[in-house]
Structure 1
Amino acid sequence: MIKGRVLAINISTQKGTIKKPIEKGVFKTNHGLIGDAHAGDWHRQVSLLAYESIDKMRKMGVEGLGSGKFAENITTKGIILHELSIGTKLRIGSTIQEVTQIGKECHTGCEIATKVGKCIMPTEGIFTKIIREGVIKPGDVIEEI
């Protein structure tokens, strides 16, 4: 199946802010990334954004971009996330996640849009819920199951 890799795990304690990379993330069923502001019992527990999407912004002249700048929990490489279908199941590290949403509506006053000028999450970011909990770290394989 489709294979990609995890480039970074990112976390923040407040919604709408840039996330900071961490060494590994502990993901809990029906919750998301433990300690992250977006975690909770809802359909957008975990956010993912591809490095390839971030790179598009870089090529448009936006500087200083990297993992977590778009408030994504997981930065990926080698998998075109926004082309997956809702309901797709992904094995990432020791977790199993289900794609619940592609893109999102950007809220006003978003730190990302303010600092970066434009946010790519509304069109190319995806959201998942945790089906099987576990640990994810940079370098882990992402595969569609």
Structure 2
Amino acid sequence: MSRILSVNVGTSMVTDYSDAGSTGIDKRPVDGPVRVEAPGERAFGEVGGSGLAGDAISDRRFHGGNAQAVYAYAREELDGWERELGRPLSNGMFGENLTTSGVVVSDALIGERWRVGDGLVLEVTSCRIPCRTFAEWLGERGWVKRFTQAALPGAYLRVITPGEVCGGDAVEVVSRPAHDVTVSVLFRAMTTEPALLRRTLAASGTLNPDHLDAVLRRLTRT
């Protein structure tokens, strides 16, 4: 059964490894239900943060906003990282809002829609690109390179129909686009395999606008 294992939110903590001076990457499971709705376009101030009520987004230059309202990561992929790193990784450790079970997250199609629980509908928009904050938070040598090589980035999602979510909610894929651009393909195109960039344009209608701009800029240079 495809389901949400845990819903994870974070509070802002002061740090010296984020340009913003603080980070909300420390996401921890909470008892639900948690309200999920579109946070607005990314901007400094009260809008453009996380789509989950009570979840902190510190650096809104690169995180949060409508196209990155929710971040999901599969428990199966966390388990793989546990084996590789030789350490436990709790739900939320990668800064994900939704830790899933039985959901194909990194291989989900851009534009794929999920119904979560009774009414919440989310749409896959893009991949996570690893940053210094993520690397410092995990404390693993060469983490950005290792994460990039694995090409298991997890998925960002936008809110199509707001609703509530809690651990145990079922996840159902209710629609899939006709193209073959997965989250992993997009990630590889933007990191290690630029030959895939043109292929990602098939998903341009639902792709995170920031990532689409980045793809177009890179294509003009090739």
Letter in 2 for 1:57: W
Confirm whether residue 35 of structure 1 aligns to residue 57 of structure 2.
no
Task: Considering fraction of residues, name the structure with more helix.
Answer: 2
C-alpha RMSD over aligned residues: 2.4
Confirm whether residue 106 of structure 1 aligns to residue 130 of structure 2.
yes
Q: Whole-Å Cα distance in 1 between the matches of residues 141 and 11 of structure 2?
A: 20
Aligned residue number for residue 26 of structure 1: 35
Larger radius of gyration: 2
Structure 1 spans left out of the alignment, 5+ residues = none
Aligned residue number for residue 126 of structure 1: 155
Q: Whole-Å Cα distance in 2 between the matches of residues 60 and 99 of structure 1?
A: 27
Aligned residue number for residue 46 of structure 1: 70
Structure 2 spans left out of the alignment, 5+ residues = 13-22, 41-50, 58-62, 175-222
Aligned residue pairs, count: 142
Q: Whole-Å Cα distance in 1 between the matches of residues 116 and 74 of structure 2?
A: 14
Contact 1:112/1:118 (8 A) holds in 2: no
Alignment of 1:39-118 (within 5 A): 40-93=64-117, 94-102=119-127, 104-110=128-134, 111-114=136-139, 118=143
**CA pair 16-117 structure 1, distance change in 2 beyond 3 A:** farther
Letter in 2 for 1:98: E
Q: Deviations over 1:64-92 (max 9, x none)?
A: 21101000000000111111111001001
Q: Which has the higher contact order (CA 8 A, sep 6+)?
A: 1
User: SS state of the match for residue 137, structure 2?
Assistant: helix
TM-score w.r.t. length of structure 1:
0.85
Off by >6 Å, runs of 4+ in structure 1? none
Q: Whole-Å Cα distance in 2 between the matches of residues 26 and 109 of structure 1?
A: 26
Task: Considering fraction of residues, name the structure with more strand.
Answer: 1
TM-score w.r.t. length of structure 2:
0.57
**CA pair 63-75 structure 1, distance change in 2 beyond 3 A:** same
Q: Whole-Å Cα distance in 1 between the matches of residues 73 and 67 of structure 2?
A: 16
Report the alpha carbon displacement of residue 29 of structure 1 after superposing the two structures with TM.
3.1
Report the alpha carbon displacement of residue 98 of structure 1 after superposing the two structures with TM.
0.5
User: SS state of the match for residue 2, structure 2?
Assistant: strand
Q: Whole-Å Cα distance in 2 between the matches of residues 126 and 92 of structure 1?
A: 15
**CA pair 116-54 structure 1, distance change in 2 beyond 3 A:** farther
